[in-house]
Amino acid sequence: MKMTLSDKRAKNMAQVLRGPHASHCLLAPMLLSVTCIASLGQAVSTTSSEVAADHRPTMELTLPKALELASKHNRHLLLAGLATKEAEEKRIIVRSEYFPHVRNESTALYLTALEGVVIPAGGLAHSPGTGLIPPAPIEIDQGQRDTFTSGTGLIQPLTQLLTVRAGVRAATADVEIAKLTAKDNENSIALLVHKLYFGILIRQLQFDAAQASIQTGAILEEESEQSVTAGSALELAKLQSHAALLYLKQASLTNELAIADLTMQLDDVLGLSLGTRLKLDPDSLGEASALPSAEDAMTALKRHNPKILSAQQDVEKARAGITAARDAYIPNISGLARYSYQSGIPFLEHNFGTFGGSVTYDLYDGGARGAKLKTAKVQFHAAELELAQTEADLSIQMAALYDELRRLEQSVEVAAEALTVKQEAARISEQRMRENAALASENARNHAEAIVAQASLLEARLDLRLVQDQVCQLLGQPPQ
């Protein structure tokens, strides 16, 4: 008896999985078989919806290429980069208060009336020899009706530099927070790319397994039909087999819709046009980064996690706020210098300079300074509590991830053992079928169950890889 297509695929997959390096590689054996499995239900999986969607753009995508596209085109990462630039420019604005302020002020005025100097007749001299000097009253205008002044002055804050220094500290903390947020977003997007990429691969293998189950259901339905026709089975058996086949088709459609949904999400994350069809390469996943022990991970968490480092910067920013609130009690002392030019103003040289200083101090402000200082202290204590809570939350999350790692490692072992059992059952049923000791439906069912077990093993291994990536993210490392 000739081997069916599913028999050949199952045999090839069994040979791959039983290779000499199967026990040493985490993902390669299962992922190499995705391409083999994909061809199993090719005739069945070519649905009308896929034919109608052939006009959509298609892209061959490896995992490293997906990560590169996300880092360049993801809108969340672009916004985070802009936020960092904005924070840096705001720090420059605050630092500018350290330097003198040079300002020019110019005015042009027209005076409607001038105060003049009147010299009455004989105001200068009155003698018989000279007579009246001046002989008649003289009016001397003071200045001109058209006046112009222009002065360039320099003001250097002195005691205000203490407040400026606190502001620069706060602005620097904002820059660091923006950078850490951008880094955390980058790691989160990389993790999301891994999650969607793995999800599509799993769903594709589950779809192929569903197609193999549909083929098995079709054979069972055909055998039930023959049994009913021969009178060895009731009509109910035929209906039950047909209902089971419909459930399998429904599961296949569910997987197909899930693949389309995950693909749409991945298109959006990578900045591609929505609807772009993706051909994923299961051989491009590489291996997960080596993880530290649970104890070392807890220590590294507080040193490298972006959220914890950001919370520490919030504490520093709040501490600078307290310093600025205290500096408000110091008088504002500034040095100033000005060089001026005037035209039309009496009793002044056209060019003159002024030098000096100024002191300002609020004698009473209604308690505003005291309230601001108390507010700054409250914000400082709140930032400290937020830091402690963030460290506690992430420590719990890290401990939970390491517990999940141990559970998933056991799950991978169980799934691998189950696959071995299912493959052996498929081999025995194939041999029994050659000896006419088993029905075709039994052979097809055993091979379909082997494919389902293979999908389960792939899912367990990729779930393990995803948890490893989550640990890397918590440690401030981008998932590879």
- The predicted pLDDT at position 92 comes to 95
Chain centroid to Cα 101, Å, comes to 40
Distance CA 345, CA 149 (A): 9
Q: Which of 115, 118, 106 is closest to 144 using CA atoms?
A: 115
Indicate the pLDDT class of residue 319, thresholds 50, 70 and 90: very high
Q: Retrieve residue 149's tokens.
A: 């002044």
- The predicted pLDDT at position 429 comes to 79
Which one of 54-68, 115-129, 222-236, 308-322 scores highest in mean pLDDT? Answer: 308-322
The string of pLDDT tens digits covering residues 42-76 is 433 444 344 344 577 888 889 999 999 999 999 99
Distance CA 289, CA 300 (A): 15
Q: What is the pTM of this model?
A: 0.74
The string of pLDDT tens digits covering residues 342-380 is 888 777 788 989 999 999 998 988 999 999 999 999 999
Measured from the Cβ of residue 43, the count of other Cβ atoms closer than 10 Å reads 10
Question: What superfamily would CATH give domain 5-17+24-41+59-96+161-327+366-474?
Answer: Outer membrane efflux proteins (OEP) (1.20.1600.10)
Distance CA 440, CA 478 (A): 49
Whether residue 42 contacts residue 208, with contact meaning beta carbons closer than 8 Å, is answered with: no
The string of pLDDT tens digits covering residues 432-450 is 777 776 677 777 777 788 8
- One-letter-per-residue 3-state SS of the chain: CCCCHHHHHHHHHHHHHCCCCCCCCCCHHHHHHHHHHHCCCHHHHCCHHHHHCCCCCEEEECHHHHHHHHHHHCHHHHHHHHHHHHHHHHHHHHHHHHCCEEEEEEEEEECCCCCCEEECCCCCEEECCCEEECCCCEEECCCCCEEEEEEEEEEEECCHHHHHHHHHHHHHHHHHHHHHHHHHHHHHHHHHHHHHHHHHHHHHHHHHHHHHHHHHHHHHHHHHHHHHHHCCCCHHHHHHHHHHHHHHHHHHHHHHHHHHHHHHHHHHHHCCCCCCEEEECHHHCCCCCCCCCHHHHHHHHHHHCHHHHHHHHHHHHHHHHHHHHHHCCCCEEEEEEEEEEEECCCCCCCEEEEEEEEEECCCCCCCHHHHHHHHHHHHHHHHHHHHHHHHHHHHHHHHHHHHHHHHHHHHHHHHHHHHHHHHHHHHHHHHHHHCCCCCHHHHHHHHHHHHHHHHHHHHHHHHHHHHHHHHHHHCCCCCC
Average pLDDT, the chain: 81
* Residues near 321 by beta carbon (within 8 Å), at least 6 away in sequence: 166, 170, 376, 379, 380
What's the mean pLDDT in 394-402?
94
Helix axes 63-73, 235-270, angle to 10 degrees: 50
Q: Retrieve residue 52's tokens.
A: 């109608």
- The predicted pLDDT at position 108 comes to 92
Query: What is the percentage of the chain residues whose pLDDT exceeds 70?
Result: 84
Measured from the Cβ of residue 381, the count of other Cβ atoms closer than 10 Å reads 11
Whether residue 242 contacts residue 183, with contact meaning beta carbons closer than 8 Å, is answered with: no
Q: Retrieve residue 89's tokens.
A: 């420019």
Give the Cα-Cα-Cα angle 40, 15, 22 (nearest 5 degrees).
Answer: 115
The string of pLDDT tens digits covering residues 248-268 is 788 888 888 988 999 999 999
Q: Which of 186, 185, 183, 184 is closest to 71 using CA atoms?
A: 186
Distance CA 87, CA 176 (A): 9
Distance CA 199, CA 287 (A): 17
What's the mean pLDDT in 324-334?
93
Distance CA 144, CA 94 (A): 44
Indicate the pLDDT class of residue 26, thresholds 50, 70 and 90: very low
Reply yes or no on whether the pLDDT at 388 is more than 60: yes
Indicate the pLDDT class of residue 287, thresholds 50, 70 and 90: confident
